[in-house]
Amino acid sequence: MLRRLAELSRQESLRLLGSAPFGRIVYTIRALPAIVPVRHLVDDGMVVVRTHVGADCAGAVVAFQADDIDPVGESGWSVTVTGVARRVVDAEETERYESVLEPFVDMPNVEVIRIYPEIVAGYELVSTT
């Protein structure tokens, strides 16, 4: 069965992104791409993550991607957000995010990072028959 990619609205893309249990943050180290799986949430249209790579991400343009694709049924969706990552420095906000976002790894220097989406690209796999 053939599939096509149907473009999703920004609102629907962010809704689906918020429903995913984890995603991947894409950033650069010495001009080379790096990808790390992270837990996240979508808050007021922003993607928030807790990660040990915050120092590499803060102030940089990053991408964040999550999906839910069924390999058997060949259906699902994929969303990618691109924007600037900033450290969350407000103590109250940081505490709130830390209470709901557990990092995947127990490492020093785990930070809360907020991604300000400039580009939101979401697609759903749709049957053409």
Strand partners, 78: 67, 123
Give the torsion sign (CA, 102, 62, 74, 125): positive
What is the token pair recorded at 6? Answer: 């149907």
Look at residue 14 in the predicted model and tell me its pLDDT.
97
Identify which of 4, 47, 3 has the alpha carbon closest to the alpha carbon of residue 26. Answer: 47
Mean pLDDT of the chain, nearest integer:
92
Look at residue 72 in the predicted model and tell me its pLDDT.
85
- Over residues 30-51, mean pLDDT: 94
pTM given for the model: 0.91
Q: Is the pLDDT of residue 129 over 80?
A: no
At residue 36 the predicted structure's pLDDT band, cuts being 50, 70 and 90, is very high
Look at residue 56 in the predicted model and tell me its pLDDT.
83
**In the block, which residue shows the tokens 């429903």?**
19
CATH node for 3-127:
2.30.110.10
d(CA 25, CA 53): 9
At residue 127 the predicted structure's pLDDT band, cuts being 50, 70 and 90, is confident
- pLDDT tens per residue, range 71-123: 888 889 999 999 999 999 999 999 999 999 988 777 778 899 999 999 999 99
- Over residues 3-16, mean pLDDT: 95
